[in-house]
Chains A and B, each alone.
Chain A
Amino acid sequence: MTNFLKKQNFWFVFTPYFWLVLFFFIPLALIFKISISVSEWGMPPYRDMFAFTKEGFSINATLSNYAFIFSDSFYLRSYINSLTLAFTSTLICLLIGYPIAFYVAKSKENIRNLLLILLIIPFWTSFLLRVYAWKVILQGSGIINTILIKFGFIDQPLSMLHNHYAVILGVVYTYLPFMILPLYGYLVKFDLNLIDASSDLGAKPFKTFFKVIIPLSLPGIVAGSMLVFIPVVGEFVIPELLGGSDKLYFGKIIWDEFFINRDWPIASALAMSGIFILVIPIIIFQLMYAKYNFKNE
């Protein structure tokens, strides 16, 4: 009996790990392998890593791809652009999302469910379509310009599309629910009596907010920020559709290296560097945060 259970537990526990190995670690290893390969014309467009020739066995591995991307500030700048975009939009999502999440969490139950459905409904249409819709709204003959011209506020249509503001708008719009939902998850458990208690003990509203509400929803803030920040760093579709030539983003550069320049090793090296530059600080942050939480428990 216990053996039987153990067997079941084994599959229960390890299925996600097999999934992770199959669809995450193996592809990651392949990308890493390509990133240290030597580029050449052909299919695939890089040299085999292990070669048996008449001269014998040789390994064709190189770090020159990495050396190249770190020597050209073009790549670094695009990466910084992406980080700035991710940071700005995470901050905006937090500023907009927090009051919304708070309001939803504190609404009466029937209204709350309706509001949650309204938050989730946009996901029923394709992400691509929703970003395209912004293109229609923002373009020269779009609804905003038409209205502004009709009411005589402006003579010439404003160019709102194809700049990095449009990208931020698109990113915030798309990723806002990912900020709101984890925040909501923490705020809905929040005991409103704590706000009253803080006020009763002499704390003015803004102090209550920073001493009671924020600390107690911190895990939600961290989770929401991660869910927005990490995917936005690699975001490709939104800058492609709404962005212009004023700023180049990292995701777009990788795409170009892969599909336009057909330089798979450089593209892979970029992808690997991106992951490591991002993952290492996040791991450190998570460890510190876990330690902080542990200390407080």
Chain B
Amino acid sequence: MSKSFLKIESVSKSFGNTKALDNVSLDINKSELFSLLGSSGCGKSTLLRIIAGFEKPDSGKIYLDGEDITSLPPYLRPLNIMFQNYALFPHLNVKKNIEFGLKEENLENNEIDHRVKEITALLELTGLDNRKITEISGGQQQRVALARCLVKKPKLLLLDEPLAALDKKLRVQTQFELVNLQYKLGITFIIVTHDQEEAMSLSDRMAIMKEGNILQVGNPVEVYEKPSDKYVANFIGTANLFHLDKINEKTLIKELNVEISNNSSQNKNLCLIRPEKIKIQKFENQNTQNQCLGVVKEVAYLGSYTKYLIESNGFNFYAFMQNEEVAENLKIKWDDKVICTWSEDSIFFFDD
């Protein structure tokens, strides 16, 4: 038996004819911040609801801290969930919302008060005790929802799209707060999100899901640099995917008709070059390997970096360039002829 804290063992779940989860297994470690990432309908929310106990799996088992919780009702599971819309009780004030779960544990009143005070201080909610839920801001509501869960000291906290309802600026700030909080408390977090950037910046490890299956589990670097397949490569960040051709002992990128040295390709048939790994310069002279000629078709200036869409040999791909210097204008513009180069190590090879 492995030492995984939450063990999901071949869980399947169907709704009518649609398979929401297809024989999913997953191990999550103690004190880990783990993300379930996927587009809508991939089964990530179903998996979360099964862990929380709101749905029963058709088959499979779930173990938390060594204990089989598959058939436990939600109110007996030592875990809590924070809902996407927070699901705060509108008829109760902030304090009553936070202590709701503690009252169910039949704790003494001063113990309840102590723990509520502790958590409101931690989440900077002091002074809001008697406010109605509708009288506080979205960010405060999010923290009340978090406090309501954390005050119960759960073994595991599930967060369903925790930042989706916040505006962009607050979202970035809250991301860091969430990571700090998780680090401070050491509670295992499982976050469901469709936002790959959010998943990347929050997680220790993440699982990418599609159509009820887990495609890849790994830390953000692994998933970004070494995706398990085409879908993952495209889902996380921007991907330039090329086919490989072997002609007379030479390895060629088919679409660009560019040669690469063949020691690393290991007979794979696909390769990925991330846009930021391609350097573009105004055309001067050309080498033979790992570079190609192209024409700039689109330019999107985004402040810290610029996105270029390059056409080469009739094929389009992306290149991202850091805007390293203060400049009045872009050096490379539409219809400029450019030379694109990348280092051999920045290519990742895999199979279709």
Give residues in A with beta carbon < 8 Å to B.
191, 193-194, 196-204, 207, 211-212, 215-216, 296-297
Contact = CB atoms under 8 A, between A and B. Distances in A.
B328 to A, nearest CB: 52
Contact of B148 (A199, A201, A204, A296): A201
A202 B152 contact: yes
Contacts of A207: 104
B80 A200 contact: yes
B91 A199 contact: no
A111 to B, nearest CB: 15
Interface centre among B83, B85, B101, B104, by most chain A C-beta atoms within 10 angstroms, is: B104
Interface of B: 52-54, 73-75, 77, 80-81, 83, 85, 87-91, 100-101, 104-105, 132, 148-149, 152
23 contacts: A191-B87, A193-B83, A193-B87, A196-B81, A196-B83, A197-B83, A197-B87, A197-B88, A199-B54, A199-B74, A200-B80, A200-B81, A201-B100, A201-B101, A201-B104, A201-B148, A202-B104, A202-B152, A203-B100, A203-B104, A207-B104, A216-B89, A216-B91
Contact of B52 (A194, A200, A212): A200
B83 A199 contact: no
Contacts of A211: 100
Contacts, number: 61
Contacts of B77: 200
B80 A201 contact: yes
A90 B135 CA distance: 36
Contacts of A194: 87, 89
A199 B152 contact: no
Contacts of A216: 89-91
A200 B87 CA distance: 11
Given A197-B81, A202-B105, 14 more contacts: A191-B85, A193-B87, A194-B87, A194-B89, A199-B75, A200-B52, A200-B53, A200-B77, A201-B75, A201-B148, A204-B75, A211-B100, A216-B89, A216-B91
A201 to B, nearest CB: 3
A296 B90 CA distance: 10
- What 7 A-B pairs come out closest when comparing CB atoms? A201-B101, A202-B104, A193-B87, A197-B87, A199-B74, A215-B91, A199-B75
Interface centre among A193, A202, A207, A212 (most CB of B within 10 A): A202
Contacts of A193: 83, 85, 87
A202 B75 contact: yes
A202 B151 CA distance: 12
A11 B77 CA distance: 60
A48 to B, nearest CB: 57
